[in-house]
Amino acid sequence: MQGVLVPLMIWLLWIPEIPAEEPGLRRSPRVVGGHPSEVRNQPYMVNIRRRGNFECGGSLVTPHCVLTAAHCLKDGQPSDFVVRGGVTYLNDMRNARYVRNILLPSAYSRVTLEHDVALLQLQQPLQASIAQPISLAVRSPRPGSFVRVSGWGLTDDSSTSLPNQLHSVHVRVMPQQECRDLYRGYRNITNSMFCASVPGLKDACAADSGGPVVNSHGFLVGVVSWGRAHRCADKNSPGVYSDVGYLSDWIADNIHRYC
């Protein structure tokens, strides 16, 4: 995350799937403590490739637009990226859509990762037979609630290669002040962020960045953003996510204008 987060495979605890309804500070998200999943259970899930290589996850929010993390697109041009929807495995090369435009919030900061979201406008839509958009939350997730994080990120800190199959993990949203205390002196937890994990068991990790965080009602509440480097699922290093509800005005305005 600034690391980019990747869903962790669930080792010790399994929770049923919810039905559909930069340098030293960098961390690549992964799903730690999670379980293999199928894109049919998350039809909004897409993978984003930069010049042919997997870069990040994303969420289809309209047939023409994908929401992801801004840090995933660092120094990139639209022609660098291809989005694929409707695929469970990274080696499935079907359903490619080229990117027409990259939309970033003016308040986004590469240093602080404030407002770490972006919209990719696609040249051609992803039809309903391939992928289905997810509805956006307009409120922040409630502390103590569980949310589902999905991606193709590393499944533990010792992994050196990405899993081919999509993974998901359920993590608990943490009180904001508790997360601020844990990250004090490392990076500020701002109002555009929230934290979630199951300490010592489950988290997002490297390569999960940009992926969806979905609540029990099937609404997109977050985007995988960052965490402390090499500390995925550590009890003192929860995953940090961009808060879709807090950023909903910017997201909704740009969807209306471009999507």
* Domain spans in the chain, listed from the N-terminal domain onward: 43-133+248-258, 134-245
The catalytic position among 159, 168, 197, 209 is: 209
Give the mean pLDDT of the chain.
83
Q: Say what the pTM is.
A: 0.84
State the Cα angle at 243 between 246 and 1, rounded to 5°: 150
**Alpha-carbon gap, residue 234 to 215, rounded angstroms:** 22
Query: Pairing mode, if any, of strands 8-9 and 31-32?
Result: parallel
Report the CATH architecture of 43-133+248-258.
Beta Barrel (2.40)
Q: How confident is the model at residue 229 (pLDDT cuts 50, 70, 90)?
A: low
Q: Do domains 43-133+248-258 and 134-245 have the same CATH topology?
A: yes
pLDDT at position 250 over 80: yes
pLDDT in tens, 24-60: 333 344 444 457 889 999 999 999 999 999 999 999 9
Element (H, E) at 8: strand 8-9
- Rounded to 5 degrees, what are φ and ψ at 151? 170, 180
Short-list 26, 5, 17, 7, CA closest to 68: 5
Active site residue 167: no
Q: Which residues on neighbouring strands pair with residue 150, listed in sequence order?
A: 168
Residue 8 has pLDDT above 60, yes or no: no
Tally helices (H) and strands (E) across the chain: 2, 15
Helix (H) or strand (E) holding 178: helix 176-183
- Which residue of the set 71, 115, 167, 170 is catalytic? 71
CATH number attached to the domain at 134-245: 2.40.10.10
For residue 232, the model assigns a pLDDT of: 61
Among candidate residues 28, 59, 115, 116, the one labeled active-site is 116
The verdict on whether 217 is a catalytic residue reads no
Taking only the tens place, the pLDDT of each residue in 70-128 is: 999 999 999 999 999 999 999 999 999 999 999 999 999 999 999 999 999 999 999 99
**75 noted as active-site residue:** no
